[in-house]
């Protein structure tokens, strides 16, 4: 089913303790596309991203990954845990705080899920992991434990870990927000390479230059509503709403 979008979100709504954080959000991410989600803190962008792999359960709406509905079926019945896990395995996620597994070496962080979730043979998983760590420039740290790495190195390992699952889509949740300014570049560089290779990516970020250079589509969330969506050139040079104009001015 190559024509189905990687991610299709329809009329998604979510409240926390009676406070609405997402309202009727529609978003389609086609294969090979990079979509950046922008907005100020508390606008709901991380929640939107975390709903995609059901780390947060939306109150209403439907999410499909490669055409397959996640979390509940069309009759509203909850998905069995195993099926949910299997569908999640088709997505990769990169977190703001890296969330590497501290008891495992860099290599094993990358091979862990392929071996124990997907059932990939160990030898093959190791071979793939070597290639991916090489791609993100971390092959020399294969035997190191995460606590010895810098933030930028941790995040590059986390990206390799995501790639190792050959995901249909990679979700990036503010991947550079916890990094020292001088380490941001190395992570964004890797992400740029990935987009050039045709990976499907949904990126929640505050890096405007990155969003402008790499995205196919930019989405702006304000108080849980998508108030603007456009190609990056148009978004950054001729925003339609006052809200976005203000936001971009502050980011200059």
Query: In this structure, what are the phi and psi dihedrals at residue 189, rounded to the nearest 5 degrees?
Result: -60, -45
Q: In what order do the strands lie in the sheet with 225-230?
A: 91-94, 169-173, 201-204, 34-38, 217-222, 225-230
100 binds another protein (CB under 8 A): yes
Instruction: List the one residue from 30, 40, 68, 99 that touches another protein (CB under 8 A).
Output: 99
- Binding to another protein, residues 64-83 (CB under 8 A): 81-82
User: Which among 221, 156, 144, 229 has a CA at the least distance from the CA of 186?
Assistant: 156
CA separation for the pair 167, 51 (Å, rounded): 16
Q: Which residues of 93-129 are buried (b: 16+ CB within 10 A; e: fewer)?
A: bbbbebebeeeebbbbbbbbbbbeeeebeeeebbebb
- Report the nearest approach of another protein to the CB of residue 46 (Å): 12
177 binds another protein (CB under 8 A): no
Q: Which neighbouring-strand residues pair with 85? A: none
87 binds another protein (CB under 8 A): yes
Contact pattern for another protein over residues 188 through 207, marking x by CB under 8 A: --------------------
- Binding to another protein, residues 120-149 (CB under 8 A): 145-148
175 binds another protein (CB under 8 A): no
Residue closer to another protein (CB basis): 97 or 234: 97
User: Which residues bind to another protein, rule: CB under 8 A?
Assistant: 53, 55, 81-82, 85-93, 95, 97-103, 112-113, 116-118, 145-148, 161, 165, 171
């Amino acid at each position: 089913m190559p024509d189905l979008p990687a991610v299709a979100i329809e009329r998604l709504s979510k409240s926390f303790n009676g406070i609405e954080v997402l309202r009727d959000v529609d978003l389609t991410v086609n294969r090979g596309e990079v979509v950046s989600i922008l907005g100020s803190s508390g606008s709901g962008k991380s929640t939107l991203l975390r709903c995609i792999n059901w780390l947060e359960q939306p109150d209403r709406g439907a999410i499909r990954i490669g055409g397959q509905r996640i979390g509940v079926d069309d009759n509203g019945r909850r998905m069995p845990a195993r099926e949910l896990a299997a569908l999640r395995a088709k997505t990769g996620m990169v977190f703001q705080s890296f969330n590497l597994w501290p008891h495992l070496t860099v290599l094993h962080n990358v091979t862990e899920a392929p071996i124990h979730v997907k059932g990939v043979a160990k030898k093959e998983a190791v071979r793939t992991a070597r290639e991916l760590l090489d791609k993100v420039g971390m092959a020399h740290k294969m035997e190191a434990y995460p606590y010895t790495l810098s933030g930028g190195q941790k995040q590059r390992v986390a990206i390799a870990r995501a790639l190792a699952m050959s995901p249909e889509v990679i979700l990036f949740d503010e991947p550079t927000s916890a990094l020292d300014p001088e380490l941001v570049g190395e992570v964004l560089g890797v992400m740029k390479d990935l987009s050039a290779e045709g990976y499907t990516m949904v990126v929640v970020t505050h890096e405007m230059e990155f969003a402008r250079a790499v995205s196919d589509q930019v989405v702006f969330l304000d108080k849980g509503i998508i108030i603007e969506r456009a190609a990056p050139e148009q978004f950054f040079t001729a925003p339609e709403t006052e809200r976005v104009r203000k936001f971009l001015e502050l980011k200059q």
